[in-house]
A and B are shown apart, each in its own frame.
Chain A
Amino acid sequence: AHGTGSVCPSCGGPTLAPQAERALVLELAKQQILEGLHLTSRPRITHPPPQAALTRALRRLQPGSVAPGNGEEVISFATVTDSTSACSSLLTFHLSTPWSHHLYQARLWLHVLPTRPGTLYLRIFRWGPSRRRQGSLTLLAEHHITHLGWHALTLPSSGLRGEESGVLKLQLDCGPLGGNGTVIGQPRQLLDTAGHQQPFLELKIQANEPGAGRARRR
């Protein structure tokens, strides 16, 4: 308004020309959205997920609002590296927001291929945070897969915390469940990563610590 020589229209001053007002409103909208999302500029998406994978992932999420208290839900698609020496896969996730400390729910969605008849025994490990020594693996969860296709596997949120680099690596090891409960796996591809069946991680993040607002008000 200063630039055009008029005063703020909200304060009863002369109104802007329609073209100028429209430009101002669009600029305000941009600023409002970026500010609301705590971004300094719009993100440049260099590797957008395939449309079909995106649609499939969004359909699998629970509808409705996000968590109360400025929560966020994040879907992160995995980059999958199959191991040729064992029935295992390495999943790498690149996360942008400082999610780690406020994570309260995590689910890993996998599309499991038909490897062999019977129950499949799946173990999910996490590669240690980068500050620790290389090669440290922590067992996060164990699941029995009784049918093929999509599975939503719950991961302990406490086991995923502590990562500050934004890169999360999970290793999946699988094999048929033997009579004594031991894994007797043979080399076999576990995940279907072609045909837009890309695995993804569903994270629920609370922006504020529980009770933080109440403590501030007191």
Chain B
Amino acid sequence: TPTCGPATPLCCRRDHYIDFRELGWRDWILQPEGYQLNYCSGECPLHLAGSPGIAASFHSAVFSLLKANNRWPASTSCCVPTARRPLSLLYLDRNGNVVKTDVPDMVVEACGCS
């Protein structure tokens, strides 16, 4: 998946780092200090829609269903995540206990056209 540049019109992965200080959440999330929340943006022209290998995501399946039921504008394809990975978090719960857990599907690794 291409990473978005300043003038990338086509579907790409936009890398974005979220610092938990920005959310005001550093008091309860102990580790990490932030995470890479990437997201997908860009155009999906017709020739890229539903390309082999990128139609396997959950999002793609939903969009395909919407299209099949005519609930989606004709010839519209969306730039959606096709691969994600989990993030380990260490946080304080409401009783002051420390919890360490892996949250699935937190970091977008790849994007594609539905």
> Which residues of A are at the interface with B, using a C-beta cutoff of 8 A?
8-12, 15, 25-26, 28-30, 32-33, 36-37, 42-49, 54, 57-58, 61, 65-66, 70-77, 94-97, 166
Is the CB–CB distance between B37 and A28 below 8 Å?
yes
Is the CB–CB distance between B79 and A26 below 8 Å?
no
Size of interface on B: residues with Cβ below 8 Å to A: 41
Is the CB–CB distance between A77 and B99 below 8 Å?
no
Assuming the contacts A10-B40, A37-B103, asked whether A58 and B98 have C-beta atoms less than 8 A apart, the reply is yes
Q: Say whether chain B's binding surface is mostly helix, strand, loop, or mixed.
A: strand
Q: Using Cβ atoms and an 8 Å threshold, which residues of chain A touch B39? A: 10, 25, 28
Please name the residue on chain A nearest to B80 by beta carbon.
Answer: A10
Is the CB–CB distance between B101 and A37 below 8 Å?
yes
Q: Using Cβ atoms and an 8 Å threshold, which residues of chain A touch B42? A: 10, 12
Is the CB–CB distance between A70 and B101 below 8 Å?
yes
B25 to chain A, nearest CB (A): 6
Q: Using Cβ atoms and an 8 Å threshold, which residues of chain A touch B53? A: none
> B5 interface residue, CB < 8 Å from A?
no
Is the CB–CB distance between A97 and B93 below 8 Å?
yes
Q: Using Cβ atoms and an 8 Å threshold, which residues of chain B touch A77? A: 96-97
Is the CB–CB distance between B79 and A10 below 8 Å?
yes
Q: How far is the CA of A94 from the CA of B25 in the complex (A)?
A: 22
A44 to chain B, nearest CB (A): 6
Is the CB–CB distance between B23 and A26 below 8 Å?
yes
Q: Using Cβ atoms and an 8 Å threshold, which residues of chain B touch A43? A: 28, 91-94
> Which residues of B are at the interface with A, using a C-beta cutoff of 8 A?
16, 18, 22-23, 25, 27-30, 37, 39-44, 76-80, 87-106
Is the CB–CB distance between B95 and A94 below 8 Å?
yes
* Contact of B41 (CB < 8 Å), options: A9, A29, A75, A97: A9
Is the CB–CB distance between A70 and B93 below 8 Å?
no
Q: How far is the CA of A49 from the CA of B93 in the complex (A)?
A: 11
Is the CB–CB distance between B78 and A74 below 8 Å?
no
14 more A-B residue pairs beyond the given contacts A25-B18, A33-B29, A43-B94, with a C-beta to C-beta distance below 8 A: A9-B41, A10-B42, A11-B44, A32-B106, A33-B25, A33-B103, A33-B106, A37-B89, A43-B91, A45-B27, A45-B92, A49-B92, A66-B102, A95-B95
B30 to chain A, nearest CB (A): 8
B29 to chain A, nearest CB (A): 8
